[in-house]
Structure 1
């Protein structure tokens, strides 16, 4: 109970410490994964499936029962009590009171494999719930990385707008006449860009704070918006995705569960064999159980149940159809994941080339701007207008880097990677 009470406090303390120091991407992903509600719900699914596994295993154990009853009699003829009251034969000829104790043990000897298959299915369900937890963790990590990447992107846009606003304001301070008017208009435009960028950046920070349950604000990010080239080859990435994606591994357990369900449907025609023993103590004197004629009775039995079901064959046909549906779904999922990985790989490679071209174009435009400014230092109005061209090229570079980083995150997720190191 104390752990449950202190857990939110520890989480808030961790979030507060994260807000006090610059927050790196790995630390942010770690905090976001710990605070993801879907992940916490998936953890409870594991608890539920583990208990169901224990219940299924208990079917293989002897079923032991103890019962006792006290009956006050006023009978004109013998009677049998309902099962809820012990199912006992009562005869008023022995007295007005009947005291009884009973213990019985039943052990399933042969159930056609139904109990073992039920335990196998419960175990596969437990394994599948663990893979679902891993899937939720990967999804939470991807969401956190994308949020961190977007905030870095918004921070770069704000820094660029602030820098160009200062440069345009400086040009306006040295200009006069029409040049001053043009430079002032450009400076005002950059001021609006700065305000918009600041507003969006603050919203991104608020979204990050919500992911880690940080109510204090004051997040400071550590890191830069940089490209992340794909590592290895596409073929190797496809192999890695097939081995590591929890969805594909979960489909293996689903296939096993479909096979078990088909076996259980086929086993419905097999008999059940039980052995059991019952021991009864019945008396008509509560103090001493003095009437020994009916005290200490016991019985041992073997029972065979033959199930006769008219829907046995229809159930088999249904399970086979469901098994086929599962196979088709697994093929569809595998093709979907392969297609998503190829798309992310191509997107990351394209955006990497695009970012390189945008950087080269920005550097060339910046060099042309410096040469023109040194050649005509008095034309401050035209210089201020040219700043907008440089700004747009820098925005194009940041957008390419941002989209390339998103593609890299999606590529890592498609390979089953991306959890905090």
Structure 2
């Protein structure tokens, strides 16, 4: 035992002395790995250049997922929480429709009761236990089997109205689902084009900034005023690039929010703006919107539900007629159920008429009719809103189609003159001023093309184009 104890002490002594070396080695390794980001940071500061992936927050470990417009819309629909919630509303409406169908079927109840008793005087069992009258001469055990069938013969149209209401509610839920999906698609397309616009805008800024730097370096014999102007022009370009980089970051976050993805997702987009002419007549757009817009369909189903609600308020005064069948088998022992001489069989067939009397019937009818008129006003409001949305969207598309074509022509003509002047004229500060003017035309063209794409997407939404298309 003494040898074992000494051996353990010697091993512990070696372990304790080895710890500082291991900690020192671990510290050295940590310092070695920690130095790598510092070197990379120093390199980026020296070069002063950021890639487009770095600007948009896309430079991450792993592959970058590049999405097209169609893929973005599909992903937005798959991840949208409002769409998932609307799908559950459809499921709930379908179950309510099934319940409304079951109202036409008879209600069947089967029950079995075992009672152990000691009575000094007669009593009645509670309703939950069959509601049977028991005499004081009954044996200790009392067994009952009961079958009960209840069928409404006439309910004043309540069951039929309930079924119609359930069908209208299902149609309304499906239309609401369509509305939510269209809103998600519109938001996804707008954020996609906004992200694409900021990327294109930054690429354009970087290109013109580099051209300005090249021209500024080649200008000879600049006086002080020209030097000040050159520095100011280059500084404005540099500031616009910084703002453009921030706009890319913000537009990417908006795009990820529309897709319901994490903020650090490695996602990029690829696509072009819509520049082709629409060729859509405004009358055709109005007809399409009035027929296809889910808001219009939703108001139609709400009108049906209002009519049904008024009818249900009226038929509250109508009588109800019910048919009931009751069959009992009673025995004082379980074995008595198999012996006809030891059991008693009882049956009852009943017809009941219920005539409801209420003081607030007319007030309920007046209230339902007021809600119906309120729904009519709301439908007129929706129609007017759809009409104005069509006119505005159509006007925006026409304006930006003409404007983008005009600016494109002006930019191309100015750019040709500018390139010709670079080849044939000597460089001066006027060259930088001309570059800024051509750059402004280029930026106006990119802005107009972006606005045209957004206007077309909005017009497509206003027309009520189905989601499948």
Same structural fold, with TM-score higher than 0.5 when normalized by the shorter chain:
yes
Inter-CA distance 274–152: structure 2 relative to 1 (3 Å threshold): same
Checking the alignment, whether the CA contact within 8 Å between 2:115 and 2:143 is kept in structure 1 is yes
Choose which of 337, 350, 360 in structure 2 pairs with 1:311: 360
SS of the equivalent of 1:92 reads coil
Q: How does 1:305-384 map to 2 (within 5 A)?
A: 305-379=354-428, 381-384=429-432
1:110 correspondence with 2:110: no
Choose which of 30, 37, 51 in structure 1 pairs with 2:95: 51
Higher relative contact order (CA 8 A, sep 6+): 1
Q: Provide Cα deviations, 1:234-267, integer angstroms capped at 9, x if missing partner.
A: 0111001111111111222111111111111111
Inter-CA distance 228–313: structure 2 relative to 1 (3 Å threshold): farther
Alpha-carbon distance in 2 for matches of 1:82, 1:132: 48
Choose which of 249, 253, 264 in structure 1 pairs with 2:297: 249
Checking the alignment, whether the CA contact within 8 Å between 1:141 and 1:420 is kept in structure 2 is no
Alpha-carbon distance in 2 for matches of 1:344, 1:378: 46
Choose which of 258, 269, 273 in structure 2 pairs with 1:211: 258
Q: Please name the residue that 1:277 is paired with.
A: 325
1:286 correspondence with 2:330: no
1:390 correspondence with 2:438: yes
Choose which of 207, 225, 238 in structure 2 pairs with 1:191: 238
1:155 correspondence with 2:171: no
Alpha-carbon distance in 1 for matches of 2:165, 2:149: 26
> 46-55 vs 281-290, which deviates more?
281-290
SS of the equivalent of 2:150 reads strand
Matched positions, count: 402
SS of the equivalent of 2:426 reads coil
Alpha-carbon distance in 2 for matches of 1:417, 1:61: 41
Checking the alignment, whether the CA contact within 8 Å between 1:99 and 1:283 is kept in structure 2 is yes
Under a length normalisation based on structure 1, what TM-score does the superposition of the two structures give? 0.89
Q: Please name the residue that 1:37 is paired with.
A: 81
Question: 1:372 deviation in Å?
Answer: 4.1
Q: Please name the residue that 1:299 is paired with.
A: 348
Please, what is the CA RMSD of the aligned residues? 2.1
Based on CA coordinates, which of the two structures has the bigger radius of gyration?
2
Inter-CA distance 36–100: structure 2 relative to 1 (3 Å threshold): same
Alpha-carbon distance in 1 for matches of 2:261, 2:370: 49
Choose which of 86, 89, 98 in structure 1 pairs with 2:133: 89
Q: Please name the residue that 1:229 is paired with.
A: 277
Checking the alignment, whether the CA contact within 8 Å between 2:327 and 2:347 is kept in structure 1 is yes
> 240-249 vs 315-324, which deviates more?
315-324
Checking the alignment, whether the CA contact within 8 Å between 1:172 and 1:180 is kept in structure 2 is no
Question: 1:226 deviation in Å?
Answer: 3.5
Q: How does 1:402-421 map to 2 (within 5 A)?
A: 402-417=450-465, 419=467, 421=469
Alpha-carbon distance in 2 for matches of 1:351, 1:184: 35
Alpha-carbon distance in 2 for matches of 1:402, 1:420: 24
Unmatched 5+ stretches in structure 2: 1-62
Question: 1:38 deviation in Å?
Answer: 0.5
Checking the alignment, whether the CA contact within 8 Å between 2:187 and 2:258 is kept in structure 1 is no
Inter-CA distance 286–247: structure 2 relative to 1 (3 Å threshold): same
Q: Please name the residue that 1:267 is paired with.
A: 315
Q: Please name the residue that 1:63 is paired with.
A: 107
> 381-390 vs 236-245, which deviates more?
381-390
Unmatched 5+ stretches in structure 1: 1-18
Alpha-carbon distance in 2 for matches of 1:160, 1:404: 18
Alpha-carbon distance in 2 for matches of 1:292, 1:197: 98
SS of the equivalent of 2:334 reads coil
> 165-174 vs 356-365, which deviates more?
356-365
